[in-house]
Amino acid sequence: MNDHIMPTYARLPVVFERGEGAWLWDNHGKTYLDALSGISVCNLGHAHPAITKAIAEQAAKLVHTSNLYRVALQEELADQLCAASRMENVFFCNSGAEANEAAIKLARRYGHQKGIDAPAIVVMEGSFHGRTLATLSATGNPKVQEGFEPLVSGFLRAPYDDIQALEELTDPDIVAVLVEPIQGEGGVRIPQPDYLSRLRELCDQRGWLLILDEVQSGMGRTGKLFAFQHAGILPDAFTLAKALGNGVPIGACLAQGVAASVLTPGKHGSTFGGNPLACSAALAVLKTLRKEKLVGRAGALGDSLASGLRSALSGNPHVREVRNKGMMIGIELDQACPQLIVQALNQGLLINVTADKVIRLLPPFILKVEEAQVLIEKLAGLINHAFTAHTA
């Protein structure tokens, strides 16, 4: 461990040197099957040739000029994202937290334009929107907020997947709802199928903006390019990051309708956001998703993976549920299971546990069928040994 790195992470004792497809190699030559994709970032796997080529070629030409000037690749990327999502415009930044920060500022300014002095945004219990002070305040997890008070005001919290609770809100200062289509960090919580459409109706009735955090669920992870497309609705704004650059940092806040005209020159900015290097990577990601038909593959392979896991874990009384939307998979146990992360690492498998007792799997879309079978066998073996054997 390096004492000169600020200890903001409880890092696992492994150093990776290279990756290819769904596999990583550590500095001792040991291989690991990556079922986490850098937390839904490397959806196309590691060292995808198309992404590597785009980054290398762009790095040799031009990396950065700032947003004081037009950036051709940024304009091309905005065109493609808007065409794919039916949005009107995009603000580019560097991360999911920054994208959500832009969405929060957009909602507040929308409120002020309506004559509301202290606009309020409804956010959900169990949510995660980032670790900047505003996004931390919006996040519905007291653990990550502890020690950082006073939090940013202007957020009203409501239970997730509960339309009635939202209908009962009567605060006249509410201007927007910020919600994840699927809560990732909150435990891979998948709401009722009509949740987003009913939320859209409610926001229309009340004059609230509907803002979706697609930082984890976006870019094909759920089997659609954007998770809201499963519901057949259009948000007023939504955010992207993680897989947008397949590892090259880039975030985006997209908007349409009244939300698209809220942020004007001088009201928001980002030094690095949407620079030529990041945009070249994101354009290559979009091109590869289309060319290799990976979004549809994510949906089908995710369902197959989840089905295989259900079968392999059937009969284990400690497994409450295996749930998925495409390649966003959660295995909920009846007890905390963080120890499985290290046990899996020792067996050459990268997984994550969230909400204490939900194993979160976010494999790359290029995972081969035989690799998916390896994942099922390794993980089911680990869970069944750790828990069934323990109670026997």
Which residue positions form the known binding site for pyridoxal 5'-phosphate?
A: 96-97, 128, 213-216, 271
Q: For this structure, is 293 an active site residue? A: no
Q: Dump pLDDT digits (tens) for 313-356.
A: 999 999 999 999 999 999 999 999 999 999 999 999 999 999 99
Residue 55: count of CB within 10 angstroms of its CB = 20
**Residue of 224, 242, 325, 357 with catalytic role:** 242
Rounded mean pLDDT of the chain? 97
Q: Tokens 């937390």 sit at which residue?
A: 39
Q: Dump pLDDT digits (tens) for 228-245.
A: 999 999 999 999 999 999
Query: What would the CATH number be for the domain defined by 49-292?
Result: 3.40.640.10
pTM over 0.95: yes
- Residue ranges per domain, the chain? 16-34+293-386, 49-292
**Confidence category of residue 1, pLDDT binned at 50, 70, 90:** low
Q: Is residue 2 pLDDT above 80, yes or no?
A: no
**How are beta strands 23-26 and 31-34 bridged, if at all?**
antiparallel
Q: Is the alpha carbon torsion for 122, 328, 272, 70 positive or negative?
A: negative
Q: For this structure, is 213 an active site residue? A: yes
16-34+293-386 sits in which CATH class? Answer: alpha beta
**Residue of 34, 92, 155, 213 with catalytic role:** 213
Give the per-residue pLDDT at 389. 55
Fold agreement (16-34+293-386, 49-292): no
Where are the strands (E) in the chain, listed by range? 16-20, 23-26, 31-34, 89-93, 120-124, 155-158, 174-179, 209-213, 237-240, 251-255, 319-325, 328-333, 349-350, 352-354, 358-361
Q: For this structure, is 128 an active site residue? A: yes
